[in-house]
C-alpha cells in the first residue's frame, strides 16, 4: 500500500514538474546562435544625471578607420575593448548614455564605473569602460560601456558618474 502511495505521489510530482517546465520561457539566445535577443532598456536619474541603460547582443567594436566603411557596429572613441572571460566570448553589449538633468546635454567627459553583480552567485564584474557610438547613429549616440559576458540570470548593475550612483536590475 505504501509503495502505491509513493508511486502515485511521484507521478503527481512528475506531472506538476512537466506542466511547470512547459510554461517557462525559452532561454535567451546568444549571438553565436545567429538569433537576436531583445534589448533591455531602463532609465535612472541621480541628482545631476539621467542615465539610460541598454543591454543587447554583443556588438562589433570598430576603430575609426574601420568605421569609414562599416554599416553596423560600435565606433571606439576611447577606452579598452573587453576581453574574453574564463574562455567565454562576450555575448551582450552594455551601454549607458548619460545626460545632464538641467539642460539635457549629452555627458561625454566624465569618468564613470560600471559594476555588474550576478545576484545568485554574487560574482562581480568591473566593466572596462569604453566611450563609443553606433556607426549608424553617429556621435549623437555617444555612450559608455562595453561588450560583457552574462549567463542567464538576474544581475544588479551599479553605474557611478560624478560621485553619484544609479542602480539597474536586469534579468538576462
Other residues' Cβ atoms within 10 Å of the Cβ of residue 124:
11
Please write the tens of the pLDDT for every residue from 61-77: 999 999 999 999 999 99
Q: What is the DSSP letter of 114?
A: E
Mean pLDDT value across residues 39-58: 96
> Is the CB of residue 157 less than 8 Å from the CB of residue 116?
yes
Q: Is the pLDDT of residue 105 over 70?
A: yes
Alpha-carbon dihedral of residues 21, 23, 28, 34, nearest 10 degrees? 100
Mean pLDDT value across residues 43-59: 96
Q: Which ranges in the chain belong to alpha helices (H)?
A: 2-22, 64-67
Please write the tens of the pLDDT for every residue from 127-161: 999 999 999 999 999 999 999 999 999 999 999 99
User: What does the mean pLDDT of the chain come to?
Assistant: 82
Please write the tens of the pLDDT for every residue from 160-171: 999 999 999 999
Ordered structural domains, the chain, with CATH? 28-171 (2.60.40.2480)
Which of 5-14, 32-41, 140-149 shows the highest mean pLDDT?
Answer: 140-149
Strand pairing category for 61-62 and 74-79: parallel
Q: What pLDDT, on the 0 to 100 scale, is given for residue 87?
A: 66
Mean pLDDT value across residues 18-31: 38
In this predicted model, which residue has the larger pLDDT, 17 or 58? 58
> Is the CB of residue 93 less than 8 Å from the CB of residue 114?
no
Across the chain, where does the E strand assignment appear? 40-45, 49-57, 61-62, 74-79, 92-100, 112-118, 124-126, 130-134, 143-148, 154-161, 164-171
Other residues' Cβ atoms within 10 Å of the Cβ of residue 70:
15
Chain mean position to CA 81 = 15
Amino acid at each position: 500500500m505504501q509503495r502505491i502511495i509513493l508511486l502515485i505521489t511521484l507521478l503527481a510530482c512528475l506531472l506538476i514538474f512537466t506542466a511547470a517546465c512547459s510554461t517557462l520561457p525559452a532561454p535567451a539566445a546568444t549571438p553565436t546562435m545567429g538569433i537576436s535577443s531583445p534589448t533591455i532598456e531602463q532609465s535612472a536619474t541621480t541628482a545631476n544625471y539621467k542615465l539610460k541603460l541598454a543591454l543587447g547582443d554583443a556588438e562589433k567594436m570598430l576603430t575609426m578607420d574601420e568605421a569609414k566603411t562599416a554599416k553596423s557596429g560600435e565606433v571606439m572613441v576611447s577606452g579598452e575593448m573587453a576581453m574574453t572571460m574564463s574562455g567565454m566570448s562576450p555575448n551582450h553589449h552594455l551601454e549607458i548614455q548619460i545626460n545632464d538633468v538641467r539642460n539635457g546635454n549629452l555627458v561625454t567627459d566624465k569618468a564613470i564605473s560600471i559594476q555588474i553583480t550576478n545576484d545568485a552567485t554574487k560574482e562581480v564584474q568591473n566593466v572596462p569602460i569604453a566611450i563609443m557610438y553606433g556607426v549608424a547613429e553617429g556621435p549623437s549616440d555617444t555612450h559608455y560601456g562595453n561588450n560583457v559576458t552574462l549567463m542567464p540570470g538576474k544581475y544588479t548593475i551599479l553605474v557611478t558618474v560624478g560621485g553619484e550612483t544609479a542602480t539597474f536590475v536586469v534579468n538576462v
